[in-house]
Amino acid sequence: MEIQFLGTSAGQPSKSRNVSCTALKLLDELNEVWLFDVGEATQHQILKTNIRPRKVTRIFISHTHGDHIFGLPGFLSSRSFQGDGGPLTIYGPAGIEQFVQTSLRVSKTRVSYPIKYVVLKEDGLIFENDIFAVYTARLDHRVPSFGFRVVEKPRPGELLMDKVAEYNVPNGPLLGQLKAGKIITLSDGQKLDGRDFLGEERPGRIVTIIYDTRPTKNIGELADNADVLVHESTFDGGEEKMAHRYFHSTCLDAARVARDHNVGELYLTHISARYTGRAGRQLEHDARKIFKHTHLANDLDNFEITLRG
Amino acid sequence: MEIQFLGTSAGQPSKSRNVSCTALKLLDELNEVWLFDVGEATQHQILKTNIRPRKVTRIFISHTHGDHIFGLPGFLSSRSFQGDGGPLTIYGPAGIEQFVQTSLRVSKTRVSYPIKYVVLKEDGLIFENDIFAVYTARLDHRVPSFGFRVVEKPRPGELLMDKVAEYNVPNGPLLGQLKAGKIITLSDGQKLDGRDFLGEERPGRIVTIIYDTRPTKNIGELADNADVLVHESTFDGGEEKMAHRYFHSTCLDAARVARDHNVGELYLTHISARYTGRAGRQLEHDARKIFKHTHLANDLDNFEITLRG
Ligand SMILES: [Zn+2]
Ligand SMILES: [Zn+2]
């Protein structure tokens, strides 16, 4: 599980930061990549990474402001052109389907795969499979805006090979069943219960993504115990009034959420173009006074998401 | 008058070429910049140039395929955000207004300037002022596609200072009137006719822009005597069948137009991603066998447009 920042700018692209997109790479877990927001030129950023568009199966859109969605038509078209792409689901507030469908219709683009739209309205579970669950909750922005909490379910413990070695278990399907916690019967009739051969269940990881919002209670609920929190940081700590007026957060708001909700690592994104170079690093510096494990995200930064030791 | 290539790729962006956009810089003539097609990430390309979005007053769209229009919503939003932009007119086939308006409405973008839409339907004059006229004609693509011919009107001759020096004309307004070809009266009562003091009228320049199309008669009419012809060159000379099937042209098609219609300089654009590096230069090399003044356009190339000597 890795996270890669494809766009970390607020509102408009700058020379060093593109508009919003964050990729959650679940290659080991699902052989899939999920995108969170798709600002203009997301497909251009992807060209600079090892992400293959056909691996992108789910797209989560926080809100419909242009810097978070204008890359959708181009990305979807190129994913189609490159072929081999299976179905894709877009989760987002009302309006996304109309924007995408109008763009594809006017441009006479026939995509080669089905697109499913899930309209976000209420807080709660929006996706679940054997390995992951995704929750959303309404934030506080000028237009409906949603945060996301990706929860990896507890993973079965590893097969204890020392213990297995005491029995005559042949390599192959039987070993696999044991690893899956099932009961197997050996050739001599002996029964083994997989659960006796597994180490402790490992807790899953939690990744929370909070784009455009003022500070609001739901953020904490989405971020609680997250291993990784990605949080917008449009303004610096001195600009609280400005942040409030424009329905945004400061770097200190983000750090407080991380501190108060037992977060592992905090990544600041959605950085206003006014903070370039040293000024950007100052955001990180200031936030670290509140929450030490704060990192300023830069375009194309890629981080492995590990469980906290 | 300069021309700058902001995107020279066909269909999809590559690492070295963005999707279609060509800027015609009319700063000396009108203090304006005109764009021809606005592919995704055109605003990102503009960040790398000296073009100021507020100077862009007219946008000409050849056809509605995504690689020619998906940059419109982002460009228009950023032009608004940056302020000071006056009215803007978009000329293009039916569908552009719906695409732009849906994008702006869904993203809740209120642009700070009026946008006028001119739907292209018939061949002929689509814009005219004192200095320029723009003509369009239907090309032959899978969807309605239009070419453009920008004609600079003949410019008055320069003031012949040697001849003026024979008279006692004071610096200032009188000299200006003389330069404008008017009749002035000197302090001693002598009358001078400006037309007697001007050199020969200088012909205007002609720039023709031909995006996606098969070879077709209208191209020649738009390109006739052009000082600069920008022509799509999606395929190489060996791929004529492929070009026909996909409603495109080869580099040789472009060169033949230039040769047969007394063109000054030919710029090849809309280059398929299959032609990178040496293969791209091969397109130019092959086309030069037919028309010597052929240039492969690369992203951000900027050329002064001069009258032919
Ligand atoms: Zn926003
Ligand atoms: Zn086309």
Least confidently predicted of A68-82, A162-176, B124-138: A162-176
The annotated binding site of B for Zn(2+) is made up of: 63, 65, 67-68, 141, 212, 270
Is B77 in Cβ contact with A99 (below 8 Å)? no
Tell me which residue of B219, B96, B88 sits closest to B149, measured CA to CA: B219
Best residue in B14, B42, B103, B276 to probe A by mutation, most A CBs within 10 Å?
B103
Query: For residue B309, what pLDDT is reported?
Result: 62
Bridge partners, residue A171, by sequence: none
* CA-based end-to-end distance of chain B: 16
Give the whole-angstrom CA distance, residue A129 versus residue A305.
20
* pTM, two decimal places: 0.91
Contact A61, A34 (CB under 8 A): no
Domain parsing of chain B, residue ranges: 2-155+202-304, 161-196
Neighbour count for residue A242 (Cβ, 10 Å)? 14
Best residue in A65, A77, A107, A274 to probe B by mutation, most B CBs within 10 Å?
A107
Fold category of B2-155+202-304 in CATH: Metallo-beta-lactamase; Chain A (3.60.15)
The contacts of residue A61 (CB under 8 Å, 6+ apart) are: A37, A38, A68, A69, A72, A90, A91, A92, A93, A96
A18 contacts on B by Cβ (under 8 Å): 44
Please give the residue of chain B at the shortest CA–CA distance from A40: B41
Residues of chain A that touch chain B, judged by Cβ-Cβ distance less than 8 Å? 11-15, 18, 40-41, 43-44, 47-48, 64-66, 69-71, 73-74, 77-78, 81, 95-96, 98-99, 102-104, 106-109, 142-143
Residues of chain B that touch chain A, judged by Cβ-Cβ distance less than 8 Å? 11-15, 18, 40-41, 43-44, 47-48, 64-66, 69-71, 73-74, 77-78, 81, 95-96, 98-99, 102-104, 106-109, 142-143
Bridge partners, residue A123, by sequence: none
Query: For residue B156, what pLDDT is reported?
Result: 81
Is residue B202 over pLDDT 90? Answer: no
- What Å distances lie between residue B284 and B18, B254, B255, CA to CA? 19, 11, 9
Give residue-wise pLDDT tens across range B242-258: 999 999 999 999 999 99
Query: For residue A67, what pLDDT is reported?
Result: 98
Give residue-wise pLDDT tens across range B102-114: 999 999 999 999 9
The contacts of residue A137 (CB under 8 Å, 6+ apart) are: A123, A124, A146, A147, A149, A218, A221, A222
Give residue-wise pLDDT tens across range B109-138: 999 999 999 999 999 999 999 999 999 999
Three-state DSSP class for residue A83: coil
Contact A297, A280 (CB under 8 A): no
Is residue B157 over pLDDT 70? Answer: yes
Q: Is A260 a catalytic residue?
A: no
Give residue-wise pLDDT tens across range A124-159: 999 999 999 999 999 999 999 999 999 999 988 888
B14 contacts on A by Cβ (under 8 Å): 47
Is A41 in Cβ contact with B143 (below 8 Å)? no
The annotated binding site of A for Zn(2+) is made up of: 63, 65, 67-68, 141, 212, 270
Q: Are strands B21-26 and B2-7 parallel, antiparallel or unpaired?
A: antiparallel
Question: What tokens were used for A132?
Answer: 């992951």
A77 contacts on B by Cβ (under 8 Å): 12, 66, 70
Is residue B10 over pLDDT 90? Answer: yes
Is B103 in Cβ contact with A98 (below 8 Å)? no
Please give the residue of chain A at the shortest CA–CA distance from B17: A44
Is A107 in Cβ contact with B102 (below 8 Å)? no
Neighbour count for residue B83 (Cβ, 10 Å)? 10
Distance B145 CA to ligand 2 centre (A): 8
A109 contacts on B by Cβ (under 8 Å): 65-66
Give residue-wise pLDDT tens across range A225-266: 999 999 999 999 999 999 999 999 999 999 999 999 999 999
Best residue in B61, B68, B78, B107 to probe A by mutation, most A CBs within 10 Å?
B107
Q: How many CA atoms lie within 13 A of B1 on its CB side?
A: 15
- What Å distances lie between residue B52 and B36, B47, B58, B116, CA to CA? 16, 9, 13, 20
- What Å distances lie between residue B177 and A184, B171, B185, B198, CA to CA? 104, 11, 10, 12
Region A282-292 average pLDDT = 97
Beta strands in A129-190 (DSSP E): 132-138, 146-152, 183-185
Query: For residue A308, what pLDDT is reported?
Result: 74
Is B47 in Cβ contact with A44 (below 8 Å)? no
Q: Which residue has the higher pLDDT, B294 or A201?
A: B294
Is residue B220 over pLDDT 90? Answer: yes
Instruction: Encode burial over B145-159: b for 16+ CB neighbours within 10 A, e otherwise.
Output: bbbbbbbbeeeeeeb
**Residue B19 banded pLDDT, cuts 50, 70, 90:** very high
Amino acid making up residue A68: H
Q: Which ligand is nearest to the CA of A39?
A: 1
Question: What tokens were used for B138?
Answer: 């239907």
Distance B60 CA to ligand 2 centre (A): 15
Q: How many CA atoms lie within 13 A of A150 on its CB side?
A: 26
Candidate from A44, A66, A77 with C-beta closest to B73 = A66
Query: For residue A309, what pLDDT is reported?
Result: 62
Distance A212 CA to ligand 1 centre (A): 5
Please give the residue of chain B at the shortest CA–CA distance from A66: B107
B104 contacts on A by Cβ (under 8 Å): 66
A143 contacts on B by Cβ (under 8 Å): 108
Sign, CA torsion B12/B16/B18/B23: negative
Please give the residue of chain B at the shortest CA–CA distance from A63: B107
Sign, CA torsion B75/B76/B80/B85: positive
Is residue B293 over pLDDT 80? Answer: yes
Distance between B73 CA and the closest CA of chain A, angstroms: 7
Size of interface A-B (CB pairs under 8 A): 106
**Residue B84 banded pLDDT, cuts 50, 70, 90:** confident
Distance between A223 CA and the closest CA of chain B, angstroms: 27
